[in-house]
Amino acid sequence: MKLYLIAGSKSEMLKKSLEENRDIEVVHIGNTFDDALNNLIRNSLDFDSILLMDAGIVEGTESFTDTLNTLKELMNSSYPYITLKFITKDPAYLNEYNNVVSGDSRFEVFFVDNVRIPITYIQEVCLKNQNQKPSGARQIENQAPADPSKTSEGKLTQTLSGKSRTLFGRKLPFFSRTNANEDNFESGGAKSTIIDNAAHPKQKISLVSKDFRKVIVVTGCRGAGVTSTVANLAIESSAQGLSTIVVDLDIDYRGINLYFSKFGDEVEYNPDLSYSLIRCIIKPDSYDINSCRINDNLFVTTLAYSISSKDKLLEIIDIKKLSAFINFLRLRFNVVLIDMPINTLSKYSQLLTQIDSIALCVNNNLYSAISTVRTVEDLFVKEDLVLFNVKSRPVLTKYNEANRHNGKTFTPELTCKIMCELGGYSSDLNPAGVVPYSREFDLQIDSGQKIVSTNKAYKNHYFTILKNLL
| Long-range CB contacts for residues 419-426, cutoff 8 Å, separation at least 24 | 419/362, 419/369, 419/372, 419/373, 419/394, 422/369, 422/370, 422/373, 422/374, 423/373, 423/376, 423/377, 423/389, 424/377, 424/385, 424/386, 424/389, 425/389, 425/392, 426/389, 426/390
Q: What is the pLDDT confidence band of residue 428, given thresholds at 50, 70 and 90?
A: confident
> Residue 256 burial (CB < 10 Å; 0-12/13-18/19+)?
buried
Which is more confident, 247 or 17?
247
What's the whole-number mean pLDDT along residues 305-333? 93
The answer, yes or no, to whether residue 338 has pLDDT greater than 60, is yes
pLDDT tens for each residue of 96-120: 899 999 888 899 999 887 656 888 8
CATH topology of domain 2-171: Rossmann fold (3.40.50)
pLDDT at 143 over 60: no
Please tell me if the domain spanning 2-171 has the same topology as the one spanning 180-469.
yes
Per the CB < 8 A criterion, the answer to whether 450 and 295 are in contact is: no
What percent of the chain has a predicted confidence (pLDDT) above 90? 53
For 293, residues 6+ apart whose C-beta sits below 8 A from its C-beta are 118, 120, 173, 175, 178, 299
pLDDT in tens, 70-81: 999 999 989 988
Residue 210: per-residue pLDDT: 57
Parallel, antiparallel, or unpaired: how do β-strands 292-295 and 298-301 relate? Answer: antiparallel
pLDDT digits 0-9 by tens, 44-72: 899 999 999 988 887 677 788 889 999 99
Determine contact, residues 106/140, Cβ cutoff 8 Å.
yes
Tens-place pLDDT, residues 380-395: 998 999 999 999 999 9
C-alpha of 208 from chain center? 26
DSSP-assigned beta bridge partners for residue 338: 217, 247
Q: Which amino acid is at 439?
A: R
Kindly state the average pLDDT of the residues 286-307: 92
Cβ partners under 8 Å of residue 164, min gap 6: none
pLDDT in tens, 179-220: 434 444 333 334 454 655 444 556 666 554 557 899 999 999
- Strands 2-6 and 433-436 come out as unpaired
Distance CA 403, CA 411 (A): 8
Beta bridge partner(s), residue 170:
167
Average pLDDT score over residue span 129-153:
46
Residue 190 vs residue 133, higher pLDDT: 133
pLDDT number for residue 150 = 38
For residue 41, what are the CA distances in angstroms to 9, 37, 57, 137, 356? 22, 6, 18, 17, 62
- Domain residue limits, the chain: 2-171, 180-469
CATH superfamily of 180-469: P-loop containing nucleotide triphosphate hydrolases (3.40.50.300)
Supply the pLDDT for residue 197. 44
Q: Does position 37 have pLDDT exceeding 70, yes or no?
A: yes
Q: What confidence tens digit (pLDDT) does each residue in 162-185 have?
A: 333 333 333 333 333 334 344 443
What is the length of the chain? 470
Task: Name the pTM for this structure.
Answer: 0.65
Cα–Cα distance between 13 and 17 in angstroms, integer? Answer: 7
Q: pLDDT band for position 11 (50/70/90)?
A: confident
- Among the listed residues 353, 266, 334, the one whose alpha carbon sits nearest the alpha carbon of residue 470: 334
Structural element, H or E, at residue 27: strand 25-30
